[in-house]
Amino acid sequence: MLTVLFVDDDPDIRFIAEMSLGFDPGFRVRLAGSGAEVLECVQDEVPDLILLDMMMPEMDGCDTFAALKDKLDPMPPVIFVTARTRSEDVTRLIELGAVGVIPKPFDPLQFAALVRGIIG
């Protein structure tokens, strides 16, 4: 069983992602609505995988990623979920240390399989 932490500031998208990831019986889904919430969340339990939204108010995806890197060792794999999918944006995120980038909007029926494909 993999614990997956899905982070997005939009509650609707969190709900849909929770349901989509639920198609994979091997995922246990946890949710967070902001960077601050993520940092709080990982104190109780470090997830096996983090799905991180890019555009969030206050702490955006990159800020959250950097804060997590400071805090966690070893760092769990992170996949960015973002509407910005120009090749230079994607390259930048991979260089930053993400294991993958999933473009928004994602297909809820394929989402879980996509995540599986990235983490192998």
Partner 1 sequence: MSPTWTGLFGNLALVSVLVLLWGFISEQSHIIPRLMRRIGYGLLCGAFCYIVIAYGTQILPDFKFDLRHALLGVASYFGGPISALIAGSMASFARLEVGGAGTQPGLIGIAISTSVGLVMHYATRRRQHLISSHVLLSCALMFGLGLSFVAVPAELRLDLLRSVGLPLFGLNFVATLVATILIGRQLHQRDTVQINRIYARMVQELPECLNAKDRDGRFIAANSATARLMRATSADDLIGKTDFDFFPADIAEQFRKNELDVMNNQTSAWIDQQVLFPDGKLIWLSTLKAPLYDQSGRVIGLITRNRDISEQHKLDEMKDQFVSTINHELRTPLTSINGALALLAAGAAGPLPEPVRRLVDVGHSNARQLLNLINDVLDLEKIESGSVAFDPSPVVLQDALKDAAFGFEGYLPEKNVRLRMRDQTGGKITINVEPLRLQQVLHNLISNAIKFSPKDSEVVLELTRDAAEIHLAILDEGPGVPPEFESRLFKRFEQADGSSRRRMGGTGLGLHIAKEIAERSGGRIWYSRRDGRVTAFTLSFPATTSKAAVRTEHPK
Cβ(64)–Cβ(7) below 8 Å: yes
| DSSP-derived 3-state class of residue 28 | strand
109 in contact with partner 1 (CB under 8 A): yes
- The single residue among 106, 114, 116, 118 that binds partner 1, judged by CB under 8 A, is 106
Give dist(CA 65, CA 62) in Å, integer: 5
Hey, is 18 helix, strand or coil?
A: helix
Footprint (CB under 8 A) of partner 1, residues 9-68: 10, 12-13, 16-17, 19-20, 23, 55
Shortest reach from residue 3's CB to partner 1, in Å: 22
Distance CA(46)–CA(10), nearest Å, equals 22
Burial group, residue 76, by CB count within 10 angstroms (0-12, 13-18, 19+) = middle
Contact mark string toward partner 1, 58..77, x via CB under 8 A: --------------------
Query: How many positions of this chain bind partner 1 (CB under 8 A)?
Result: 18
Query: Does residue 83 belong to the site contacting partner 1 (CB under 8 A)?
Result: yes
User: Which residues are at the interface with partner 1 (CB under 8 A)?
Assistant: 10, 12-13, 16-17, 19-20, 23, 55, 83-84, 87, 104-109
